[in-house]
Amino acid sequence: MKRDYAVIGLGRFGGSICKELSSEGMQVLAIDSDEDKINEFKNIASHAVIANSTDEATLKELGIKNIDHVIVAIGDNIQASILTTVVLTDLGIKSITVKAQNDYHEKILNRIGANHVVHPERDMGKRIAHNIISNNILDYLELSDDHSIVEVRAGEKMRGKTLVELDIRANYGCNVVAIKRDKDINVSPAADDVLKEEDVLILIGADKDISRFEKHLV
């Protein structure tokens, strides 16, 4: 289904979102206060407009109210990011995703009504750190401050064993929610499934439990 998006701020992060949404065939209104950025994106986005997003009247004129989802990707200028988010919530935009520069910025954005706050540098840093700890940790997704989902390749200590034998839930307090094997994904792994070298386990749990699991089994 085709939906309308607006991306405000076309730096590395916003620019990448704008390109990806456009290449997926979505209608994207790209907004930046910098003329060079708008020139760069005028052939990529459906519409590219030079505008200061902290100005409510301008956003209204651009028809922002008719947009399904607005992404605020203003990086360093935290004040402009906050003001823009306030203007968008005042205009009644239902879906607003905002990039946070730091934890304080994130807190404020949550308070003022951004319904999805992302922190790409911090999250990517965490993912890469876990991947550096072990090549078998393929991905890491934070669910809350203290719970995550990890994608782990069945390491040497797991291969040839069943889930019953490993008893990950009792030993580490984590749940194996799915096992990926080649292109198949088994969302209800059986207790007697023998793990193979190419298997990837998807685990959910508290960070402290996942950390114990990573230390002992990965």
CA distance 57 to 146: 41
Is 152 exposed, middle or buried (CB count within 10 Å of its CB: 0-12, 13-18, 19+)?
buried
Angle in degrees, CA 75, 8, 14, rounded to 5: 60
Of 10 and 29, nearer to ligand ADP (C-beta) is 10
Contact assessment for residue 201 and residue 152, using Cβ atoms and an 8 Å cutoff: yes
Assess contact for 47 and 113: CB atoms under 8 A.
Answer: no
Query: Minimum distance between the CB of residue 131 and ligand ADP, rounded to whole angstroms?
Result: 22
155 exposure class (CB count in 10 Å sphere: 0-12, 13-18, 19+): middle
> Which CB atom, from 53 or from 136, has the smaller least distance to ligand ADP?
53
| Residues that bind ligand ADP in the complex, under the rule CB under 6 A | 8-14, 31-34, 37, 52-54, 73-77, 80
Residue 39 vs 135, nearer CB to ligand ADP? 39
Of 67 and 195, the one with the shorter C-beta distance to ligand ADP is: 67
Nearer to ligand ADP, 80 or 166 (CB): 80
Residue 34: phi and psi, rounded to 5, are -100, 120
Rounded (10°) angle between helices 103-111 and 78-90: 10
Instruction: State the minimum distance, in angstroms, from the CB of residue 195 to ligand ADP.
Output: 40
Could you tell me the smallest distance in angstroms from the CB atom of residue 103 to ligand ADP? Answer: 17
Least distance between ligand ADP and beta carbon 87 (Å):
10
**Which CB sits closer to ligand ADP, 4 or 55?**
55
Please report how close the Cβ of residue 9 comes to ligand ADP at its closest, in angstroms.
Answer: 3
183-186, long-range: CB < 8 A, 24+ apart: none
Is residue 68 helix, strand or coil? Answer: coil
Instruction: Name the one residue in this structure whose structure tokens are 């840093």.
Output: 125
